[in-house]
A and B are shown apart, each in its own frame.
Chain A
């Protein structure tokens, strides 16, 4: 990663409210191209609200720019088309659809294919990153283990060919061995030119792969920090 990378993701004064409750007050953060930044902090202080707002899934104030392009608020489709893809907390797969369909639909915003079979052929190379999913392609996602479902969620995100990956608590509820595999994969991703914003409650996990970390406390970025 270059010493001072050009900003890939710029978050300026982003705020999120649920009725009268202010979840995120005014977060400003810049993530350089190819950088991996961890967002840490205790539960319930706005980390997940911030990333879901950046991904366009909840209403927000403030500005989000992806490689200089300003994203419209509340438009997840525009975020995905700009190359910003979220792997959400608790995954949000389609439980009654097959693993194959779950992964294939990751490419929905960029595919122009009519047939699902053709769209799958365009994205099937993500199995190179997750070879253990190859034998599970016809299985319904809802019947997979938690670790397998997390792999499907990551594969779905990679099918979108993201330039910026937002990961919200990717190891939540996973056994330690599975969490280690997720972090091994994330570590490999940091060796590529992928830009990553990682929300993680556990700072020990986060700092295994992040270049630096910011802490969100009571809806505000509290302090910048540098990974050891």
Chain B
């Protein structure tokens, strides 16, 4: 029983990591139909930047987090103004499949190169926000950072879900992804929604990087792996439903942990993609896809 509970704790922790990055990807894709392949790099900047400020520049920890999150938000804003604005709002390159991933893939490479130049190749981990020994209930042990990761993922997923489902602003954000022209007709500024949502998800990813880094550590190369994990979790949520992405991430994490614990870790990736393909082919409506469009 204790093995099961500890696998469950490990699975929920890694699943929360899948889920939150999937949620960040899904909510921005919903607004502007662009995959944010730099979401993992924003997390990397959050983790490494905070660790660097706190440990090398001796900033107070809270101040390091605030400064770093502001810097990440500024990077997202600058990227939108310098690249996405011209690509999408001026009609210079906002059409076609290339725009779905090309610009953010380029941003990912730039952030990775910049991080290497500034922070070097060391492994960084921000100080733990909630330090202390692992929490234990009988034979069930979970790291405090893991509890924070799971809590932040669930709270963020619920907040994004509630925003999109219940607020006028959330419905307007969804309308931007459905029809840019249709949204502009009623006075919705689709560029503003794209920019705001990019900044919010970049800062959220960075905050998650800070919370997660005591568990996993970060290098300048951590971003693409995280982004790929996020793409898979977002895929389980049809790239549009952040709440479902968090739920899907948690389920995937637990399934992976159980499979790894009771069978073999070799089958983790196989399981992940087999389930995704199976759903797309057999039950596309589960992902919000109609059989015709799946």
Binding site for B on A (CB under 8 A): 55, 57, 76-77, 79-81, 85-86, 88, 91-97, 101, 104-109, 111, 113-117, 119, 156, 160
Contacts and interface: CB of A to CB of B under 8 A. Distances in A.
A80 B166 CA distance: 24
A114 B185 CA distance: 20
Nearest to A80: B187
Nearest to B179: A92
A93 B184 CA distance: 11
A113 B204 CA distance: 26
B182 interface: yes
A180 to B, nearest CB: 25
Nearest to B174: A97
Nearest to A57: B184
Given A109-B187, A117-B166, A104 B181 contact: no
10 contacts: A80-B187, A85-B186, A88-B181, A95-B178, A97-B174, A105-B168, A105-B188, A109-B186, A113-B168, A114-B169
The 6 closest A-B pairs by CB, nearest first: A109-B187, A92-B182, A94-B178, A77-B187, A80-B187, A94-B175
B189 A77 contact: yes
A88 B186 contact: no
Nearest to A76: B184
Nearest to B164: A116
Contacts of B189: 77
Interface of B: 166-172, 174-175, 178-179, 181-189, 240
Contacts of B172: 105, 108
Contacts of B184: 57, 76-77
A109 B187 CA distance: 6
Determine the main DSSP class of B at the interface with A: helix
A116 B187 contact: no
A102 to B, nearest CB: 8
> Which of B167, B184, B240 has the most C-beta atoms of chain A within 10 angstroms of its own C-beta?
B184
A97 B167 CA distance: 14
A80 B186 contact: yes
Given A105-B172, A119-B168, A81 B185 contact: no
A81 B171 contact: no
Contacts of B175: 94, 97, 101, 105
B17 to A, nearest CB: 28
B85 to A, nearest CB: 14
Contacts of B168: 104-105, 108, 111, 113-116, 119
Contacts, number: 84
Nearest to B165: A116
Contacts of A107: 186
Contacts of B169: 114
B178 A96 contact: yes
A115 B167 contact: yes
Contacts of B178: 93-97
Contact of A57 (B166, B171, B185): B185
Given A85-B185, A88-B181, A105-B188, 13 more contacts: A76-B184, A79-B187, A80-B187, A86-B185, A93-B178, A94-B175, A97-B174, A97-B175, A101-B171, A106-B186, A108-B187, A115-B168, A156-B186
Contact of B181 (A57, A97, A156, A160): A57
Contacts of B166: 115-117
A12 B170 CA distance: 38
A170 to B, nearest CB: 14
B171 A104 contact: yes
B174 A55 contact: no
A91 B240 CA distance: 23
Given A93-B179, A116-B167, A108 B188 contact: yes
B185 A55 contact: yes
A114 B171 CA distance: 11
A93 B182 contact: yes
Contacts of A85: 185-186
A182 B183 CA distance: 23
Contacts of A88: 181-182, 185
A107 B167 CA distance: 13
A76 B170 contact: no
B170 A116 contact: yes
A103 to B, nearest CB: 10
A151 B178 CA distance: 19
A100 to B, nearest CB: 10
Nearest to B172: A108
A86 B181 CA distance: 11
A117 B165 CA distance: 10
B242 to A, nearest CB: 15
Contacts of A111: 168
A94 B188 contact: no
B45 to A, nearest CB: 32
